[in-house]
Every structure is written in C-alpha cells, then in structure tokens.
C-alpha cells in the first residue's frame, strides 16, 4: 500500500474530530444530517485511495459508507424528522456486516488454524445469543409497532452480524502480540457503528424517544472517520500479515462467549412472549443455542484429550526416530527393579554409540546425519526381540534394554547381533555409507542397589571401554571399570588446577650424536607431581589433557618453559650454542589455529633461534586431519622451526606421509630399538627405516636405547643420533650440567669401551 504523508493524516484526523464535535453540539436539523452525509460519503474515496488488498473489508466499509449516506439522504429529505430504515438500506447494512465477518475470518485464517475449531463454535454462540436478544428486544417490538415483518427480520439479522464482527475483531486483536494503530481504529469504528445502530434499533422498537436517537449521529460520524483513518494509517498493511497465534483460549474470548449465553437468558426471563410465533422463535432459538453450546463443549473436551495425548507422546518420544526417550527408558528400568523377574532371566542394558558420527554430520551434512540416525534406529528395533526396549538417549546414543536375556553369554550374543546391524552399508539419499558402533553391556542384577541412572552409566562406561579398545566392538561392564572411571575423573579434575598449582615440571633427556659423541640436544618430558606427592606418568595424563583440552594451556607452558631453559643452559655453557630442544606436541595443539602464534611467542620471549627448536609430532594428526596438519607444519617450516616424527614405526608409518609432510627427522620407536640387537626382523626393519630416511634426507634418532649392544648396532646401521636410559634417564633441569659433563667425559662413541657387554661407567 502507498504510504500517505503524515500531514494528510493529521488533516483527516482534525476534520474527523471537528465534524464529530459539530454533529454532537448541533441541536439537530438539516445541517446535522448534511454532516452525517458528508462523513459517510468521504469513506468511499478514502477506501479507493488507500487500496488495501483485503477486498472484503474494503467492500464492507464501502457498503457501510453507502448505507450511512443513504440514511442521511433520507433524513435530509424527511426534513429532520426521524424515519425508519428502508428495507433496501437494511439489506445493504446486512451485506456490510456479512462482508466484515468474512473479511475478519479470512484474517484469522491467515494466522493459522489453531483457533478454527473453538472459534467458529464461539462465533456461532455469539451469533445465536445476540439473535435471541435482538429478537426479544428489537424484532418482535418492531413487528408489533410497525407491523413490518420484513424490516423487523432484516434488522434482527443485522444485529447479530455486527456482534459477530465485533467478536471476531476482538479475537483478531487478542490473538496478536503487536496491535497496530490501524487495528485499534478499525475496532473503534466498528464499535461506534454498532452503538449507533443499536440506538436506532431501540428507536425503531419504541424503547427510546427520537430525542435520544439523535445521539446516534455523532457516533456514526466518529465511526466513519475511525474506519477511514484505519485505512489511511500505514500500519494497516500489518493487519494482513500472518501472525503466530498463541495457543489456548483467551479469557476475553471466554467472557464474550459466556456473555452470549447469560444475556439472552436474562432477556428471555425479563420479557414475556407476545404470541405463539414469538414463543416458537424463542424456544427454537434457545434450543439451537443449547445444541451449539453442547457441541462446542464436546469438541473442546475431545480436542483437549487429543492435545493431552500428543503432549504425553511428545514428552516420551524422540521426535527424530520415534523411539522412546531417556525418560521412558529410566522409567522402564525403574519398573523392572521394583518387580521381581524370572530367575532364568538376566535383564541387560546395551549402550550403542556410533563411531565417528561427527564425521558424517561434518562431511555429508546434518540431513544425512539424521537419515543415519533414523535408519540405525529401525535396524536396532528389527535386531532385537519384541520385549526389548530400544531408546535413543541423545545424539548418536541408543540404549537397548532386553529383559529376556538369559545369561552373560546370551547377552553377548545379543550384543553381537546389534553389532552385526552395522555390517550392511546404510543407503542414504547421497549414497551408501558404512557406520560402525561401540557397544557397552551392563547386566541388571535383581539385588542391585543402583539407580536406573547408575545402571545406564555402567553401560555407558563399558561403551567407552569399547571405544578405547579400537571401536566397532563390545565391552562388558565390571566393577573395576567404575574405579578406573572414577580415577580418571579425579585426574581430570586435578589436572585443571595442576598448572596454577605449579605441579607440572619438565625433565630432560639428552640426545647423543653417534658420530661425535656430543650431546647435541635434549627432549623435554613433562612430569606431574601431585600435591600428595604422587607422580603421574605423562603416558597417563597427556591423553586425558588431550581429551579435555587442557593440553592447550599445558602445552603452551611446556614450550615456553623448555625454550627458556635451553636459553639459560646455552648462556651458562651447560650446552653448546647449537644444542637443540625437542618439545612434544599433541594433535590437539597442532590442530589449534592459535598454535603458530604460541610457538612464535615462545621463541621471541625466550630469545631462542627457531633452528634450535624441534617439535615432535605423532602420525595421528596427519592421518585424521591431513590438510590442517600440513598447513600448520608449513607455517612451522616458514618460521624456521623443525619437525620430527615421533614413535615412528608404531602407527601407519607410510612412506607417503614422509614425502607429503615437511618433516626433517624421524624417531625410531623404542619397540624396534629394543629388538635391534637380538631380533633379526627388528634389525632389518630398522635398517629399512634408516635407508628410507637417509634417501629422503631426514635426520634419524633412535629412542629408548638401553644397552651398548643396541647402540653399537644402531651406529653400524647408520643411525645419526640416539636417546635412552643407557645414555641418560630424563633428569631434572638442575641435574643437566652434571649429566652433560659425565657424558662428555665418556668420549666419542665407538670410543666407548665395551667390556663383557657392559659399558665401563
């Protein structure tokens, strides 16, 4: 719609108020009727000008204006004395009322159909209620007075349409959170028009004198201007927009409906029927009203019951898969624990968690993820007996409760059956995908004092064990698992505060050059001494720190600490100025976008040249997030920092990895070094690794050297450097000076004397 200038609206308002006041203050006569006529006729150009797209309200207001104009003209012609409405005008008025009702109904429809059932019942009650009142108060008296059944019937019908329109307008108002000005104006116009009509109808029926009836004209004038102003107001466009309708019946609607029941009853009781026809109309109307009310109540009860069922269903069902949710599962376990079961039965919980489900969501999108969840749900249901409950707890977690499992062996059979569900690929709309699952099994004992939540947690714990064991397998819960979980939780919690409490330290293990026999670098290895003196091995706490993310601050601390230490050793002459510092970096650190900045800052704060820093990484990050690892390692390379591949030989150890990533060193894992002296297989493997590394121009370090024999063989095989308990255990920083000095005293390997297979130191 066109936005009318505000000035025009102001002028319109001023004219409207002026004309209403004038018509009110005038004693009567032709001038007043002329104002009435002008006020009615101005509506026609206004609605045309405003061109609002809701045609029905357009027609109804146009009709209202025409009817008003018609009355005013007749009044003028009758030279001021009050006239009764002509049937043709009453027909127009009725049409205006009907148009308005339909227009308002369509507005309500556009907002959604939640109101539909009750609303039309209530509107019918309002219609019949107001019909009964208007029959007793207006139609019957008019029939008697004027002996004009036609006119009486028309105005009798007209009244209910305007009441229904007012009722619907109120519902439209109540149903909206925002009530635009245009809505208030239209509502006011409608109410004023109804009031004026009522005054005329009461005049028609002889209840009031013509003096009071003249009050109706200012109401009409005000009504026309309100309707016009509603059309001109810019907010009218908001009226047609669909609005979310709040659920439930509003109090206002209830009051209107109850009033439509009570008022007719009072009116019927207060007025006696005139004749048989009157009696018949009153009885039939009351009967119809009773029928509509009964139907409305029945519908309300039924809708309520249906809503309740839906609500209950929604509260107990997972909306995606339609499976029972956690509440139902816990309730079922609870019922089971309260009731005794057959001694041959061994109710068992199976916690099924999809492996790497996040990958599917990330790579194929959430819609595919949802498809997977739904398909898996269906397959799980098909895989178990009918007495079993398959529920979905959240995300990719399902729990199956089989009450008829017979024994631990039987439970394992069921678990295997559940695993087998994943052997076939899942046919998604984007193509087939393979998904595996890890399953935790926990039996429910009849004497169990555990709560349903505890029992589900046991199955969950076992499921984590299955994940740790490499996924796609089954693990059965036992008490020790619970202890391990509790221990892990304790470590996890303590680890959060370890850094602040200064419980973390770095130990250092020298790296020896096999050609020169010099200490060419050290590896920093973290140690955690808890407040009570317990020392936790990094092999235990680093993976936990990795899982919980605490590795990020801990790792940053280690980097700065190690480099600062190297700086002071070089400055103090403990190490040569070219000695390097190796720092272990875990996958989570490497994947952190802030990591290059952390390295840069540690280098600049310690004043150590980037060439002296070796970062030790493991293959896992290169396998799981190759792109990210490549980008980070390239950044490191550009900083001048070098990267070593730690624990080489234990993982995938593919040649392509060595070619693809910017690596400068491989560290042969202790597992091969240990067998290098005695085991021909290990020796040939180390030989191959050394040859491969050399051909790629990589520096080769052997880890975990424990005997001179091993060192000898490694040297013979062409290994550059070595590290291990033979050379030195990891030592605290303040022991480094003596350690390096002792190693220097030993001289250059193979000058290391070997007597009866043991070093002379």
Binding site for ligand C2E (CB under 6 A): 509, 524-526, 537-539, 542, 555, 558, 584-586, 616, 646-647, 670, 703-706, 724-725, 730
- C-alpha closest to that of 221 among 42, 12, 19, 8: 19
Task: Name the binder of 518 from Mg ion, ligand C2E, none, CB < 5-8 A by kind.
Answer: none
| Nearest-approach distance from CB 584 to ligand C2E, in angstroms | 3
Contacts of 415 (CB under 8 A, 6+ apart): 350, 439, 441, 474
Task: Name the binder of 728 from Mg ion, ligand C2E, none, CB < 5-8 A by kind.
Answer: none
Count the neighbouring beta carbons within 10 Å of the beta carbon of residue 116. Answer: 12
DSSP string, 514-577: TTT--EEEEEEEEEEE-TTSPEEPHHHHHHHHHHHSTHHHHHHHHHHHHHHHHHHHHHHTSS-T
Q: Looking at 411-503, which runs of residues are DSSP E strands?
A: 426-428, 431-433, 437-443, 474-476
**Backbone φ and ψ of 438, nearest 5°:** -110, 135
Selected binder of Mg ion within 159, 584, 723, 728 (CB under 5 A): 584
| Nearest-approach distance from CB 406 to ligand C2E, in angstroms | 45
Task: Name the binder of 285 from ligand C2E, Mg ion, none, CB < 5-8 A by kind.
Answer: none
Q: Which is nearer to ligand C2E, 452 or 724 (CB)?
A: 724
- Upper half-sphere CA count for residue 128 (Cβ side, 13 Å): 23
**If residue 648 lies in a helix (H) or strand (E), which one and from where to where?**
strand 642-648
Q: Which is nearer to ligand C2E, 278 or 616 (CB)?
A: 616
Q: Which is nearer to Mg ion, 180 or 510 (CB)?
A: 510
Q: Which is nearer to Mg ion, 384 or 566 (CB)?
A: 566
| Nearest-approach distance from CB 341 to Mg ion, in angstroms | 52
Burial of 656 (C-beta count, 10 Å sphere; 0-12/13-18/19+)? exposed
Q: Which is nearer to Mg ion, 103 or 724 (CB)?
A: 724
| Nearest-approach distance from CB 461 to ligand C2E, in angstroms | 25
Q: Which is nearer to ligand C2E, 92 or 614 (CB)?
A: 614
Assess 397 for contact with Mg ion (CB under 5 A): no
| Nearest-approach distance from CB 680 to ligand C2E, in angstroms | 21
- Binding positions for Mg ion, 703-722, rule CB under 5 A: 703
DSSP string, 160-228: HHHHHHHHHHHHHHHH-SS--HHHHHHHHHHHHHHHHHHHHHHHHTTSS-HHHHTTHHHHHHHHHHHHH
Is residue 719 within 8 Å of residue 668, measured between CB atoms? yes
| Nearest-approach distance from CB 659 to ligand C2E, in angstroms | 23
CA distances from 133 to 138, 145, 198, 327 (A): 8, 18, 12, 54
Task: Name the binder of 525 from ligand C2E, Mg ion, none, CB < 5-8 A by kind.
Answer: ligand C2E
Binding segment toward Mg ion, per CB under 5 A, in 11-19, 347-355, 583-591, 677-685: 583-591
Reduce the secondary structure of 720-746 to three states and give it as a string. CEECCCCCCCCEEHHHHHHHHHHHHHH
Selected binder of Mg ion within 122, 355, 561, 616 (CB under 5 A): 616
Name the pairing type of β-strands 613-617 and 642-648.
parallel
- Binding positions for Mg ion, 539-578, rule CB under 5 A: none
Binding segment toward Mg ion, per CB under 5 A, in 118-126, 196-204, 226-234, 610-618: 610-618
- Binding positions for Mg ion, 618-647, rule CB under 5 A: 646-647
| Nearest-approach distance from CB 687 to ligand C2E, in angstroms | 20
Contacts of 395 (CB under 8 A, 6+ apart): 357
Q: Which is nearer to Mg ion, 318 or 646 (CB)?
A: 646
Chain CA centroid to CA 673, Å: 52
Is residue 227 within 8 Å of residue 16, measured between CB atoms? no
Task: Name the binder of 388 from Mg ion, ligand C2E, none, CB < 5-8 A by kind.
Answer: none
Task: Name the binder of 75 from ligand C2E, Mg ion, none, CB < 5-8 A by kind.
Answer: none
Q: Which residues bind Mg ion (CB under 5 A)?
A: 584, 616, 646-647, 703
């Amino acid at each position: 719609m066109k936005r009318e200038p505000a000035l025009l609206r102001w002028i319109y308002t001023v004219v409207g108020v002026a004309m209403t006041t004038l018509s009110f203050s005038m004693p009567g006569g032709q001038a007043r009727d002329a104002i009435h006529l002008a006020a009615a006729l101005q509506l026609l150009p206004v609605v045309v000008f405003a061109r609002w797209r809701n045609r029905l309200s357009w027609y109804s207001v146009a009709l209202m204006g025409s009817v008003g104009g018609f009355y005013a003209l007749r009044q003028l012609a009758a030279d001021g004395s009050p006239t009764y409405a002509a049937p043709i005008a009453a027909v127009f008025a009725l049409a205006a009322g009907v148009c308005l009702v339909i227009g308002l109904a369509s507005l309500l429809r556009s907002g959604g159909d939640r109101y539909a059932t009750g609303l039309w019942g209530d509107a019918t009650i309002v219609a019949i209620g107001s019909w009964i009142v208007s029959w007793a108060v207006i139609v019957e008296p008019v029939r008697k007075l004027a002996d004009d059944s036609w006119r009486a019937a028309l105005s009798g019908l007209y009244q209910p349409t305007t009441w229904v329109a007012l009722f619907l307008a109120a519902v439209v108002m109540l149903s909206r959170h925002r009530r635009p000005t245009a809505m208030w104006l239209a509502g006011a116009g409608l109410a004023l028009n109804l009031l004026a009509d009522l005054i005329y109808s009461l005049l028609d029926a002889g209840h009031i004198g013509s003096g009071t009836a003249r009050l109706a004209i200012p109401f009409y004038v005000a009504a026309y201007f309100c309707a016009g102003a509603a059309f001109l107001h810019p907010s009218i466009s908001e009226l047609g927009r669909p609005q979310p309708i709040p659920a439930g019946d509003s109090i206002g609607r209830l009051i209107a409906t109850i009033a439509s029941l009570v008022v007719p009853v009072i009116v019927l009781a207060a007025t006696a029927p005139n004749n048989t026809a009157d009696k018949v109309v009153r009885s039939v109307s009351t009967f119809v009203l009773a029928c509509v009310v009964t139907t409305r109540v029945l519908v309300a009860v039924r809708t309520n019951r249906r809503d309740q069922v839906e609500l209950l269903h929604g509260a107990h069902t997972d909306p995606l898969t339609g499976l029972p949710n956690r509440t139902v599962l816990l309730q079922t376990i609870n019922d089971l624990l309260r009731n005794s079961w057959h001694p041959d039965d061994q109710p068992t919980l199976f916690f099924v968690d999809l492996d790497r489900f996040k990958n599917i969501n990330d790579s194929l999108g959430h819609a595919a993820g949802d498809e997977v969840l739904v398909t898996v749900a269906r397959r799980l249901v098909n895989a178990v007996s009918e007495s079993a409950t398959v529920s979905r707890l959240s995300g990719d977690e399902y729990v199956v409760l089989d009450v008829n499992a017979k024994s631990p062996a039987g439970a394992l059979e069921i678990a295997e059956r559940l695993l087998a569900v994943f052997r076939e690929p899942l046919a998604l709309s984007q193509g087939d995908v393979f998904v595996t699952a890890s399953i935790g099994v926990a039996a429910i004992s009849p004497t169990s004092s555990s709560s349903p939540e505890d029992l589900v947690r046991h199955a969950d714990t076992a499921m984590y064990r299955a994940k740790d064991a490499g996924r796609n397998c089954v693990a059965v819960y036992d008490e020790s698992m619970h202890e391990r979980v509790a221990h892990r939780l304790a470590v996890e919690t303590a680890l959060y505060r370890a850094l602040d409490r200064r419980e973390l330290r770095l130990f250092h293990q020298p790296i020896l050059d096999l050609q020169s026999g010099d200490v060419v670098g050290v590896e920093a290895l973290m140690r955690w001494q808890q407040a009570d003196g317990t020392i936790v091995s990094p092999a235990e706490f680093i993976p936990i720190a990795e899982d919980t993310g605490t590795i990020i601050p801990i790792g940053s601390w280690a980097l700065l600490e190690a480099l600062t230490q190297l700086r002071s050793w070089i400055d103090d002459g403990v190490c040569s100025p070219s000695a390097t510092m190796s720092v272990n970096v875990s996958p989570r650190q490497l994947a952190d976008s802030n990591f290059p900045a952390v390295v840069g800052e540690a280098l600049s704060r310690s004043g150590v040249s980037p060439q002296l820093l070796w970062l030790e990484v493991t293959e896992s990050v290169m396998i799981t997030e190759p792109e990210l690892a490549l980008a980070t390692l390239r950044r490191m390379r550009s900083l001048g920092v070098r990267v070593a591949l730690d624990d080489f030989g234990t993982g995938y150890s593919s040649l392509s990895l060595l070619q693809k990533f910017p690596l400068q060193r491989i560290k042969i894992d202790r597992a091969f070094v240990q067998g290098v002296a005695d085991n021909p297989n290990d020796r040939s493997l180390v030989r191959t690794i050394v040859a491969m590394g050399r051909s790629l121009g990589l520096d080769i370090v052997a880890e975990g050297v424990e005997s001179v024999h091993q060192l000898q063989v490694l040297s013979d095989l062409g290994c550059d450097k070595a590290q291990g308990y033979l050379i030195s255990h990891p030592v605290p920083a303040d022991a480094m000076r003596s350690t390096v000095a002792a190693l220097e005293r030993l001289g250059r390997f193979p000058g290391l004397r070997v007597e009866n297979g043991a070093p002379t130191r």
